[in-house]
A and B are shown apart, each in its own frame.
Chain A
């Protein structure tokens, strides 16, 4: 890798804004530094203050960070005085109308060729979910950024809690699909889509019932850790670098490019072996999934420098263990179709941290809860001249029209993507083919006779 790849975070909508503010106020990953941009629709300052109120209440020093963020890191877009409400279509429209000012802010991040943009949005809302797919599409396909084609666009989508209302799931299905495919031709949009599910992370964290803000806060901390782990293999301590492009190039070729991080952090290296850490990580996926359907696995282990020096951990050993683990746990006899492992040594860290980025898994479990609510929502829509009007539950002033055709297109695209995913899973799982038979078929065996 020539020089360090720079990362920039673009966080659209309230939930994503909170995540990046939490990152901005606590961490400074050397790859991201302060390249964080918060996007939100025109709303009164009061609303912004409310968004960060809880985080700031945790630490008086953060008030100043907030002022700083407000001064230079927030881009307010759109013309509607009431914001996007819960309407993704409105969020998309606003972004389209005000794209010039968005681009200005993004240019301000000073990214260059081969850098990475990580877009974050909650899938249940309107602003982020509506605008992020559009923004990624425009940046990637339009002429707004000189270096657009050289940039990698990763998207992180946050799936709502199990208990949230149907409209949120309508948004989720649409947003998820639009991050995967967008535009007239329905081509691939984000280079890679990372999925995190609120309820799943909460189960994993074993958070008891507490205030909503605290629950978000804790989930967001985990998301930040996952982002840091994602970046680790391109850092200086990596024994085998995984470049960002390595993450998504092959998946994009295959046409299946959704992933979910699974982490096991803070382990005592004196007690835990890599095998165990992998097992623990795998039992903590950040979105519900069936391990046996995962066809891709990227494994990142961050370990204290001294254990690498002493030979307790090594890249070779990690690869061997990763292979063993994958064969036993993920799709197919060979342990998936794509696997990378990267050992990163750290001078600052005392613990053994492991992340497995699982990809290509079946959408079954995620859709199990979404789909029913999605259809419930569609069913109650009143179609008028091939269009439906969506109203915001909390603010009836906010309304927008979507054509049924658009909704159908989205549905079809998702179906196609799911079908392809299932096909790949099936193929990988089936590779039980008798090799001898295959060889004979190719003529090898016969020649011997």
Chain B
């Protein structure tokens, strides 16, 4: 409409302008004017027509896009509901979905194969957009209907998985951490059908990965067990495992674990007993005063582990603990030996008489025989020998160095006490290790002699 009015106004303005030119400049000029106006109009209409077709095309494109979106929404909804259909009966929802589709076909939006028709373009953009909204809403309510059906079924499904996880855990598989992850996913909120189906997928994936882990664990135990004998049944069973079949898989795994446990039970008991006997025996020999607190703590920790461990399936860990224990004990022995050596150096600085003290020759070869590479029983024997000897020696030397360090003070006391009667018995000298002090005194004062049997020091009679 406006196009025509605009054209009419333009013609009138041009005619008016032509008349004004005619009066002012004459015919010759007006002819030029007229020709150029005609050329301009021609170019103008060509440009206009081109522009017009372009904009018509945009509207068509929009219509096509919306129609495509409706089709995609429908397909998505259909897929979700189909998935839901695998879990529960949603036939009525499916029927409603079908009628939604036929309605769209009836409207000639789509043909029988649900492809966009040419006829659909006859509808204005507004009409198509309205239909889009309607379909969206309808789909949403259909999904909600399906979700109501799915919810209890999903809970049931999760429950089943949990029961299976429980069975696996009880069988002895170490899946505590994985089960926790599973529970985290489970705790996530899921209200829409899409969220519910998503959760189901994730939980299923997690569950499958747990199954794989259990299978791997069983495989490891099997490998360890092969040191003690062959258990073909478990070997075959593990080969048969298919993680798609949850029920079957869990049964196989639980069975494999319990067969392994049964098989290993006796071996485990023997090893554990031997191990704890060794730990207890060695632990008894460690003196808290001598061993560094850090080492002590390490060995105490190992000790409580050995007491705690009870599942024959963990026989592999028992082996690891043995290695750790042997290493800890071997390095403790090395440390104690070093301590003994430096204590001896300290004593040597006082140059005590050989009759009273000699440096230790035995520790060195005893320590050299201790090797963490040895089998536990052998290791324990050598370690015990070394610890017993070094412990005794350390106690003796620590006492002796104390005696040496305090000798000067005690010497004065002894001298004073000797003054009177010329003799002094160990009981009358109120210090620790009185015999040792008296003996040491007699060595430093040749005019005195010490009698061990009576523990008395006396001044020699002058000749």
Interface residues of A (CB under 8 A from B): 267-268, 270-273, 275-276, 279-280, 283
Residues of A within 8 A of B402 (CB): 268, 270-271
Cα–Cα distance between A280 and B409 once the two chains are bound (Å): 8
Closest B residue by C-beta to A272: B431
Residue of B403, B409, B416, B433 touching A267 (CB-CB under 8 A): B409
Nearest first, the 10 closest Cβ-Cβ pairs linking A and B are A275-B430, A273-B430, A276-B430, A271-B406, A271-B432, A271-B431, A268-B406, A276-B431, A272-B431, A271-B402
Which residues of B (316-349) have their CB < 8 Å from a CB of A? none
Residue of A271, A275, A276 touching B433 (CB-CB under 8 A): A271
Most A C-beta atoms less than 10 A away, residue of B402, B405, B406, B430 = B430
Residue of A270, A275, A279, A280 touching B432 (CB-CB under 8 A): A270
> How would residues 420 to 433 of chain B score, 1 for a CB under 8 Å from any chain A CB and 0 otherwise?
00000000011111
* Interchain Cβ contacts under 8 Å between A and B, 24 examples: A267-B406, A267-B409, A268-B402, A268-B405, A268-B406, A270-B402, A270-B432, A271-B406, A271-B432, A272-B406, A272-B431, A272-B432, A273-B430, A273-B432, A276-B410, A276-B413, A276-B429, A276-B430, A276-B431, A279-B413, A280-B409, A280-B412, A280-B413, A283-B412
Residues of B within 8 A of A283 (CB): 412, 416
Cα–Cα distance between A279 and B410 once the two chains are bound (Å): 11
Cα–Cα distance between A273 and B410 once the two chains are bound (Å): 11
Given A268-B405, A268-B406, A273-B431, 19 more pairs with CB closer than 8 A: A267-B406, A267-B409, A268-B402, A270-B402, A271-B402, A271-B403, A271-B406, A271-B431, A271-B432, A271-B433, A272-B406, A272-B409, A272-B431, A273-B430, A276-B431, A279-B413, A279-B416, A279-B430, A283-B412
Residues of B within 8 A of A280 (CB): 409, 412-413
Cα–Cα distance between A267 and B416 once the two chains are bound (Å): 18
Residues of B within 8 A of A270 (CB): 402, 432
Closest A residue by C-beta to B437: A271
Dominant secondary structure of chain A at its interface with chain B: mixed
Interface residues of B (CB under 8 A from A): 402-403, 405-406, 409-410, 412-413, 416, 429-433
Cα–Cα distance between A276 and B427 once the two chains are bound (Å): 12
Closest A residue by C-beta to B429: A276
Cα–Cα distance between A272 and B405 once the two chains are bound (Å): 12
Closest B residue by C-beta to A321: B430
Cα–Cα distance between A271 and B416 once the two chains are bound (Å): 18
Residues of A within 8 A of B430 (CB): 272-273, 275-276, 279
Measured between C-beta atoms, what is the minimum distance from B204 to chain A in Å? 63
Tally of A-B Cβ pairs under 8 angstroms? 36
Cα–Cα distance between A165 and B410 once the two chains are bound (Å): 37
Cα–Cα distance between A276 and B412 once the two chains are bound (Å): 11
Measured between C-beta atoms, what is the minimum distance from A143 to chain B in Å? 52
Residues of B within 8 A of A267 (CB): 406, 409
Residues of A within 8 A of B410 (CB): 271, 276
Cα–Cα distance between A208 and B359 once the two chains are bound (Å): 35
Residues of B within 8 A of A273 (CB): 430-432
Closest A residue by C-beta to B398: A270
Cα–Cα distance between A279 and B431 once the two chains are bound (Å): 12
Residues of A within 8 A of B432 (CB): 270-273
Cα–Cα distance between A267 and B413 once the two chains are bound (Å): 13
Measured between C-beta atoms, what is the minimum distance from A282 to chain B in Å? 10
Measured between C-beta atoms, what is the minimum distance from B439 to chain A in Å? 15
Closest B residue by C-beta to A264: B409
Residues of A within 8 A of B429 (CB): 276
Measured between C-beta atoms, what is the minimum distance from A208 to chain B in Å? 16
Residues of B within 8 A of A271 (CB): 402-403, 406, 410, 431-433
Closest B residue by C-beta to A273: B430
Measured between C-beta atoms, what is the minimum distance from A130 to chain B in Å? 40
Residues of A within 8 A of B431 (CB): 271-273, 276
Cα–Cα distance between A283 and B413 once the two chains are bound (Å): 9
Cα–Cα distance between A276 and B437 once the two chains are bound (Å): 14
Measured between C-beta atoms, what is the minimum distance from B400 to chain A in Å? 12
Cα–Cα distance between A280 and B432 once the two chains are bound (Å): 15
Residues of B within 8 A of A275 (CB): 430
Measured between C-beta atoms, what is the minimum distance from B430 to chain A in Å? 4
Residues of A within 8 A of B405 (CB): 268
Cα–Cα distance between A80 and B400 once the two chains are bound (Å): 63
Residues of B within 8 A of A276 (CB): 410, 413, 429-431
Cα–Cα distance between A268 and B437 once the two chains are bound (Å): 14
Closest A residue by C-beta to B433: A271
Measured between C-beta atoms, what is the minimum distance from A353 to chain B in Å? 13
Measured between C-beta atoms, what is the minimum distance from A148 to chain B in Å? 44
Closest B residue by C-beta to A268: B406
Measured between C-beta atoms, what is the minimum distance from B327 to chain A in Å? 33
Cα–Cα distance between A268 and B433 once the two chains are bound (Å): 13
Cα–Cα distance between A298 and B64 once the two chains are bound (Å): 113
Cα–Cα distance between A124 and B94 once the two chains are bound (Å): 121
Measured between C-beta atoms, what is the minimum distance from A355 to chain B in Å? 16
Cα–Cα distance between A271 and B406 once the two chains are bound (Å): 8
Cα–Cα distance between A283 and B409 once the two chains are bound (Å): 12
Cα–Cα distance between A403 and B116 once the two chains are bound (Å): 141
Most B C-beta atoms less than 10 A away, residue of A271, A272, A273 = A271
Cα–Cα distance between A297 and B430 once the two chains are bound (Å): 21
Residues of B within 8 A of A279 (CB): 413, 416, 430
Cα–Cα distance between A367 and B84 once the two chains are bound (Å): 117
Cα–Cα distance between A403 and B416 once the two chains are bound (Å): 49
Residues of A within 8 A of B403 (CB): 271
Cα–Cα distance between A279 and B413 once the two chains are bound (Å): 8
Cα–Cα distance between A171 and B441 once the two chains are bound (Å): 46
Cα–Cα distance between A270 and B402 once the two chains are bound (Å): 8
Closest B residue by C-beta to A267: B409
Cα–Cα distance between A270 and B405 once the two chains are bound (Å): 12
Residues of A within 8 A of B409 (CB): 267, 272, 280
Cα–Cα distance between A272 and B409 once the two chains are bound (Å): 10
Cα–Cα distance between A270 and B401 once the two chains are bound (Å): 12
Closest A residue by C-beta to B405: A268
Measured between C-beta atoms, what is the minimum distance from A360 to chain B in Å? 24
Measured between C-beta atoms, what is the minimum distance from A269 to chain B in Å? 10
Cα–Cα distance between A273 and B433 once the two chains are bound (Å): 11
Cα–Cα distance between A27 and B19 once the two chains are bound (Å): 124
Cα–Cα distance between A1 and B330 once the two chains are bound (Å): 56
Cα–Cα distance between A279 and B432 once the two chains are bound (Å): 15
Cα–Cα distance between A438 and B403 once the two chains are bound (Å): 51
Residues of A within 8 A of B406 (CB): 267-268, 271-272
Residues of B within 8 A of A272 (CB): 406, 409, 430-432
Cα–Cα distance between A262 and B416 once the two chains are bound (Å): 17
Measured between C-beta atoms, what is the minimum distance from B85 to chain A in Å? 78
Cα–Cα distance between A84 and B432 once the two chains are bound (Å): 54
Measured between C-beta atoms, what is the minimum distance from B79 to chain A in Å? 77
Cα–Cα distance between A268 and B429 once the two chains are bound (Å): 15
Closest B residue by C-beta to A276: B430
Cα–Cα distance between A271 and B402 once the two chains are bound (Å): 7
Cα–Cα distance between A361 and B330 once the two chains are bound (Å): 63
Cα–Cα distance between A276 and B430 once the two chains are bound (Å): 6
Measured between C-beta atoms, what is the minimum distance from A281 to chain B in Å? 12
Closest A residue by C-beta to B417: A279
Cα–Cα distance between A268 and B432 once the two chains are bound (Å): 10
Cα–Cα distance between A362 and B402 once the two chains are bound (Å): 39
Measured between C-beta atoms, what is the minimum distance from B113 to chain A in Å? 94
Closest A residue by C-beta to B399: A270
Cα–Cα distance between A276 and B413 once the two chains are bound (Å): 8
Cα–Cα distance between A279 and B402 once the two chains are bound (Å): 20
Cα–Cα distance between A279 and B409 once the two chains are bound (Å): 11
Residues of A within 8 A of B413 (CB): 276, 279-280
Measured between C-beta atoms, what is the minimum distance from B195 to chain A in Å? 64
Measured between C-beta atoms, what is the minimum distance from A354 to chain B in Å? 12
Cα–Cα distance between A110 and B410 once the two chains are bound (Å): 46
Closest B residue by C-beta to A266: B409
Cα–Cα distance between A267 and B402 once the two chains are bound (Å): 11
Cα–Cα distance between A283 and B433 once the two chains are bound (Å): 22
